[in-house]
Chains A and B, each alone.
Chain A
Amino acid sequence: MFRIDFNKLRFLVCDDNPHMRRILRTLLHSFGAREVYESEDGATALEMYSHYVPDIVITDWSMPIFDGLELAQMIRQPESKGNPFAPIIMLTGHSEKRRVTVARDAGVTEFLAKPISAKGLYQRVLNVVANPRPFIKTKTYFGPDRRRNTANAYIGPERRIGGEVEVLQQPSLLDKARTPV
């Protein structure tokens, strides 16, 4: 069985609703996190991202002026000063399919629809820690591989050019742990 040492993780939480920030802070502290930085808008979050270099970003979508989507897009700029690879968990009240697609295409790593639960948040954090996906760079996209699995049953078009694409899959640490020595 695996546990996360939350006291070794640094979080950046971005939400314009102070109640939601309080809930996230409570949950993360209860998991064991000691470094939880908060911002109430995307612009401040971007500054804090450069300054504090968080391991994981948890952001709301809808915020005035500079929203979570724009924050994700700015973080994912490959030429940015900060780390473009940090996991981004988008926590939002939006749950329509097209919204999930838009967030995915902005480079969001995980999507967590409200209402928030301790279990849901823990599972998303565990997933980004234990199952990191390789990054894909195209002319129009830079972010986590939007394909979550490479199931052979897929019969749709292959949109990536380059013959038989071999995506480098890192075996997850959980899978490695389950493999008998």
Chain B
Amino acid sequence: MAKDKSTTVQVQTYADHHVITQPNPLRKVLRRVAEEDRDDPVARAEKALAGLSGEFKNWMEVETIRLAAAHAAILNDGFTNATREELFRAAHDIKGDAATFGFPSAGATAESLCRIIEHAPDLGKVPSGLIAHHINAIQAIVHARTKLDTASMASELSRKLRGVADEFLAHANRDRPDHLEAVLAPSIAPAD
């Protein structure tokens, strides 16, 4: 049996940096299995996730209620740091969760809304209704999900909203190169 390798941290020092090699304490959790081993933890987890799916629509409705409440606060109080932050958080959560919950178009629309909130130089000058259209679209997508033609309509709706939002943001940020770069850069979210 091979002797256990050094258990101490090894440090190599260079002119402006150190390279630190520490023993991997997690190697003990790796084990070799036979090729015939049929256990598939990913399939098991996907099945468990599918078991949760009955709750996803309720969860999405909770998220859209939060989003609507954040928007209502803005209609009442205008854009303050607090109202802007809450609207962004509500949209950001939907952006991250919606596809997992089976509402990818709602997630795409929420992403477009996040981009407006992040990159519009003055939220008070965002074209009338653009933010409300995004919120209404997300609510409509979530509520109408059970209809047969919903998926393609939802996708088309989110695509059109994104187009309008991007056109506004590109124009509004024409003198702000950092924001313009962020607006025009593609997502680098890797596929699995």
User: Which secondary structure dominates chain B's binding surface?
Assistant: mixed
Binary per-residue interface labels of chain A (1-25) against chain B in the complex, 1 for a CB within 8 Å, 0 otherwise = 1111110110000000101101100
Q: A23-B100, A122-B41, A162-B17 are in contact. Are A113 and B29 (CB under 8 A)?
A: no
Interface size class of A (residues with CB under 8 A): 35 or more
Which residues of A113-136 have CB atoms within 8 Å of chain B's CB atoms? 113-123, 128-130, 132, 134-136
Residues of the B chain whose Cβ atoms lie less than 8 Å from the Cβ of A87: 26
* A32 & B100 in contact (Cβ 8 Å cutoff): no
Q: Is B24 an interface residue (CB 8 A)?
A: yes
* B24 contact set on A, CB distance < 8 A: 132, 170
- Is B182 touching A27 in the complex (CB atoms < 8 A)? no
Contacts of B44 in A (CB 8 A): 30-31
The answer to whether the Cβ of B22 comes within 8 Å of any Cβ in the partner chain is: yes
Q: Which bucket holds chain B's interface residue count?
A: 35 or more
A115 x B45 contact (CB < 8 A): no
**CB–CB A139/B49 < 8 A:** no
What's the Cα separation between A144 and B6 when bound, in Å?
20
9-residue interface stretch from B31-39, B72-80, B124-132, B154-162: B31-39
By a CB distance below 8 angstroms, the chain A residues around B34 are 1
Supply 29 A–B pairs (Cβ within 8 Å), ascending by A: A2-B30, A2-B31, A3-B31, A4-B30, A17-B93, A19-B59, A26-B48, A27-B48, A30-B47, A31-B41, A32-B41, A55-B25, A93-B96, A96-B185, A113-B187, A113-B189, A114-B95, A114-B97, A118-B45, A123-B192, A130-B30, A136-B17, A137-B18, A138-B17, A138-B18, A161-B15, A162-B15, A163-B15, A165-B14
Q: Which 8 A/B pairs are nearest by Cβ-Cβ distance?
A: A93-B96, A162-B14, A115-B99, A95-B189, A118-B45, A113-B189, A30-B45, A114-B96
B residues neighboring A (CB under 8 Å):
10, 12, 14-22, 24-35, 37, 39, 41-42, 44-49, 52, 59, 62-63, 89, 92-93, 95-101, 104, 107, 111, 182, 185, 187-190, 192
